Amino acid sequence: MNRSRTIGSVLVATTLLLATVVLVPARADAPGGPPPAPSHSGNPASVYERVAHFYGAYIDVAHDPGSNAAAAELREFYLTRDLRTRLLDFEKRHDTDGILRAQHVPSAWKVTRGDSGMGHTYTTVRLTWGTGTEKTYTYLTVRSDLESRKISDITSEQ
């Protein structure tokens, strides 16, 4: 009899302990705890996200010497044929990269959704130049065709 009370008490205590653990999970954002790990997700149907993917990949490739073939493949996949032709003309006239509108590679980038209409969507790309207190920014407006999901125009914001 005494033994069954002990077993019963242990089972009740264990059940209460497990219930407490289930009801009060550890929080990663609790003070003193580790911050949550950064995460990224995406949707291949989202035209805005395609612009973000393109600029992220293009800037990564531009940072690596000898990556002209990879940059050309990114342009082929993400840009309309008409824009690729216009970019080549722009680059010859200005001696600069038409995607970045610069001769150098930015230290960071940020993409912000814009408006959509008439079969197009617009995205703002902010390019960061320099680091620390020496940062400067340039802004690009990127137009994408909703049907093809390809980038069809890039202009500098003044």
Cα–Cα distance for residue pair 49/28, rounded to 1 Å: 28
Give the C-alpha separation, 102 to 68, whole Å.
Answer: 16
Higher-confidence residue: 142 or 24?
142
On the question of pLDDT at 12 being above 80, the answer is no
How do the domains of the chain map onto residue ranges? 47-156
Q: What is the mean pLDDT of residues 90-105?
A: 95
Task: State how far the Cα of 70 lies from the Cα of 61, in Å rounded to an integer.
Answer: 7
CA distances from 58 to 25, 52, 110 (A): 41, 10, 13
- Report the predicted TM-score, pTM, of the whole model to 2 decimal places: 0.74
Query: In the beta sheet, which residues pair with residue 144?
Result: 121, 151
Angstrom distance (rounded) from CA 110 to CA 104: 17
pLDDT of residue 81: 98
Q: Determine how many CB atoms are found less than 10 A away from the CB of residue 145.
A: 16
- Greater confidence (46 vs 155) lies with 155
Percent of the chain residues past pLDDT 70, beyond the cut: 78
Please give the Cα distance from 70 to 124 (Å, whole number).
24
**Mean pLDDT to the nearest integer, 30-40:** 74
**CA distance readout (Å), 134 to 107, 109, 126, 128, 139:** 11, 16, 16, 10, 17
- The architecture in CATH of the region 47-156 reads Roll (3.10)
User: For position 48, what pLDDT does the model report?
Assistant: 87
Residues 99 and 87 sit within 8 Å (Cβ to Cβ): yes
CA distances from 48 to 70, 114, 148 (A): 22, 8, 13
% of the chain beyond a pLDDT of 90:
62
